[in-house]
């Protein structure tokens, strides 16, 4: 019974993702996404402040290990 309930909840979430959103819903979701990203930066900087002097590199998670900039970063 529980598995069926979980499956139905998952199905509803999937349907919700593909449901056409109004402009206000899109705008509200984007606004909250910005706050989420900001909070991740704050958490990262707070963590780094406890470490002491350190370096943080921001970039694409899609950069491949054979990319010249990826290799330069590792040096």
pTM strictly above 0.75: no
Which pLDDT score, from 0 to 100, does residue 28 have?
79
Which structural domain, as residue segments, surrounds residue 45? 25-75
**50 in any annotated domain:** yes
Which pLDDT score, from 0 to 100, does residue 38 have?
92
Which pLDDT score, from 0 to 100, does residue 1 have?
65
The tokens describing 3, both together, are 């598995």
Across the range 39-68, mean pLDDT stands at 85
Question: Could you report the per-residue pLDDT of 1-42, keeping only the tens digit for each?
Answer: 667 777 778 888 887 777 887 888 777 778 888 899 999 989
- Which of 31, 55, 33 has the alpha carbon at shortest distance from 44? 55
Q: How would you write 45-73 as a 3-class SS string?
A: HHHHHHHCCCCCCCCCCCCCCCCHHHHHH
Which pLDDT score, from 0 to 100, does residue 42 have?
92
CB 37 within 8 A of CB 30: no
Cα–Cα distance for residue pair 4/1, rounded to 1 Å: 5
Please count the structural domains in the chain: 1
Rg, Å, the chain Cα set: 20
**59 in any annotated domain:** yes
**35 in any annotated domain:** yes
């Amino acid at each position: 019974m529980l598995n069926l309930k979980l499956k139905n909840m998952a199905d509803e979430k999937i349907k919700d993702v593909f449901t056409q959103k109004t402009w206000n819903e899109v705008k509200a979701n984007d606004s909250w996404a910005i706050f989420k990203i900001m909070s991740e930066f704050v958490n990262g900087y707070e963590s780094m402040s406890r470490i002491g002097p350190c370096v943080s590199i921001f970039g694409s998670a899609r950069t491949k290990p054979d990319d010249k900039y990826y290799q330069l970063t590792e040096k």
